[in-house]
Chain A
Amino acid sequence: MSLERPSAVAGAEGEDPAAPDSVVAAHALDRRTRAAARTHLLRAGGLLVLLAALLFCAMLSVAVGAKDIPLPVVWDAVWNPDGGYDTSVVWELRLPRTVLGVFVGAALGLAGALMQGLTRNPIAEPGILGVNSGAAAAVVVAIFVFGLTSPTAYVWFGFAGAAVAAVLVYALGSRGRAGATPVRLALAGTALAAVLQGFVYGITVLNEFVFDQIRFWQVGSLVGRDLELFARIWPFLAVGIVLALALGPALNTIALGEDLAAALGAHINRTRALVALAIVLLCGGATAAAGPIWFVGLIVPHVARSMTGPDQRWLLPYSALLAAILLTGADIVGRVLPATGELEVGIITALVGAPVFIMLVRRRRMAQL
């Protein structure tokens, strides 16, 4: 089932206590309807602005780098590839990296928003719930046991590790009658992450080769990820993104509280299972593709919430776009800022994300979702 006007919008306005035939009440109702319509228009406009900003970032990301390529040339190279140097830079290096950044960013933003919405836990984030550690442990196995040496080779290990960790943490956290409370999930995630981290440490101390590989993987980066890797991972990310966006109304209903949602006829368990599936696809795909990128999934939904309020139907697309902008933007900054070499995108997002996050924490009461 779905509610047409669930919690956030309808709930905020509440029931009209006045008599239905009262002229004053009718006026008030009319005013409120118009206000709601205006809000919707505003939010839709905001979405368009964000989309434009993302497009701009993506074009910039293709244009800027060790060799700057003017935007018109980029445009030309994209639509009429002529086999020249610029074209090959655009097609073989910059475009895959940019598209990967957009997909991974959107996936992380959505995964964070879904986790926070499902668990009503303001600190829910892929990394905190053990997903990054699961991927890292699986990648270590790939390097140590199977001798694989490139992100493209161990992408499935990363995916499987992230997925298994996410499922385990959620299964552990939601046992018993009380279900998956914030504290439980965070504790379960911390416990599992500790085990996996210990395993990773153990192997890296015993084996220098594994350490040398994993230290580059674990900063989180879009560099050196080729088209082949993207071809393997994008279907998972795409399905996850579509599924996540479709789950907005159902999440809105769950946000009313479990008892009320059940009374309204919502399929709580089905929704939870679908949300969990989407989270696994998104986190697993993003982490397998780019390594553990902290923070995007944590802060972006908070920023989005400050723009849209708690309505998941708006919060989810805003989170996806904002996170994609953040990730491509951070990747550009990492290419332009340092005098020599590049800064990995995972480092930039952490350096940029932390102050923003702390500002948000100080400004509003975050514990209430």
Chain B
Amino acid sequence: MTLTPARARGAGTGAQDTAAGGRRTRPAPVLRLAGGRVSVMVRPRVAAVYTGLLAATAAVFAVSLAVGDYTIALDRVLWALVGYGERLDLFFVRDVRLPRALAAVLVGAALGIAGAVFQSLSRNPLGSPDIIGFTGGASAGAVAVILVLGGSTLQVSLGAIVGGVATAGLVYLLALKRGVQGYRLVLVGIGINAMLLSVRDYLMTRAELTEAMTAQVWMIGSLNGTAWGQALTIAASCAVLMPVVLLLGRRLRLMEMGDSTAQALGVPVGCTQVAALLAASALTGAAIAVAGPIAFIALAAPQLVRRLARTSGTALMGAALMGALLLSAADLVAQRALAPTQLPVGVVTAVIGGSYLVWVLYREWRTGNA
């Protein structure tokens, strides 16, 4: 095990330099294990940011188990988690609040990491599922199931996933031409997305008001009434897909330097693209199936964590942590802001997340950074 300085990683494209700030110049020490086969770059700032995110998520998680119309003290929450306490405590903590809080954390993490993959593949900070058509496809699919077929919750989720994956696949195929270039992917995504959104809006105008209203709530994205079944769905998806994405992380970072460079360094570019796109799409699909197409997490989480940690490349783990924190905090606000009326969490992610991004951009650009 040795600690050696490594050259600071240069970011891939201009777009990402702009977004990340590109301030890091000092080399970071590298932790090498098993004779150099496994190496981890040790960066105090990154470690601190990740720890902070983890702690904040845990705090939000605990609070969301405790507060509500029936408030439970934190020590009683802990007892209820391990199976002791009053029946009402047990019911609220374990059957009502725990699945919802878990789903919020996991859906947020899934969206965050998927967003990071999409942005890395498209080499564009806007290349999130929102932009490249996945979210549009999912909501069009779901709204079609709700309004045209009048389907059940399960069928709606299925419609969303089919719509999302089919759209992402279509976008990728249409963007394919001697490899997928970032800008083309984003542009094709915007095209398909606009088409799908207009189909969705058209369906909305032709539906009965109450049905359209149901579709609208679903479309915004909501965790209201999340049960164990949904929490387990997203947990299983994360358990299977997140390791795959994390394993692809190193290749993705190499590919940010350009496809030909990555190819020369021995990265199977095409395979990696397809695998990463499939895994990220599946994660987004699972998130949408559970909570609807929640806007902004996938777009903002990777950007925010890069700003906080001042890394220049994609930070997959960080994006997942940031996504988890953002969504669980947003869901807490959505539950409590206008209580007893519960807002869909998508309203909160959009308003708070968007405001925060506006503020970050304002500050960064005023000082002339980025």
Contacts and interface: CB of A to CB of B under 8 A. Distances in A.
Interface of A: 122-123, 127-128, 172-173, 175-178, 181, 183-184, 186-188, 190-199, 201-202, 204-206, 208, 211-212, 215-216, 218-220, 294-295, 298, 343-344, 346-347, 350-351, 353-355, 357-358, 361-362, 366-367
7 contacts: A172-B362, A187-B361, A194-B299, A195-B350, A353-B194, A362-B174, A362-B175
Contacts of B365: 172-173, 175-176, 178, 184
Contacts of A298: 190
B367 interface: yes
Nearest to A212: B209
Nearest 7 Cβ contacts at the A-B interface:
A198-B350, A194-B354, A195-B354, A198-B351, A350-B198, A354-B195, A191-B357
B188 A181 contact: no
Nearest to B362: A172
The majority secondary structure among interface residues of chain B is: helix
A183 B19 contact: yes
B90 interface: no
B201 A219 contact: yes
Contact of B187 (A176, A343, A361): A361
Given A184-B365, A195-B355, A219-B201, A208 B209 contact: yes
A358 to B, nearest CB: 5
Contacts of A195: 350-351, 354-355, 358
B186 A198 contact: no
Q: Interface of chain A, helix or strand or loop or mixed?
A: helix
A295 B194 contact: yes
A343 B358 contact: no
Nearest to A343: B202
B119 to A, nearest CB: 12
A112 to B, nearest CB: 13
Interface string B340-370: 0101101111111111011001100111111
A202 B197 contact: no
B126 A190 contact: yes
Contacts, number: 170
A135 B324 CA distance: 32
B172 to A, nearest CB: 12
A260 to B, nearest CB: 20
B296 to A, nearest CB: 5
A184 B361 contact: yes
Interface in B127-169: 131
Contacts of A295: 194
B357 A198 contact: no
A347 B199 contact: yes
Contacts of B299: 190, 194
B15 interface: yes
A322 B355 CA distance: 37
Contacts of B369: 176
B357 A208 contact: no
B354 A175 contact: no
A184 B370 CA distance: 9
B201 A215 contact: yes
A127 B194 CA distance: 10
A169 B352 CA distance: 17
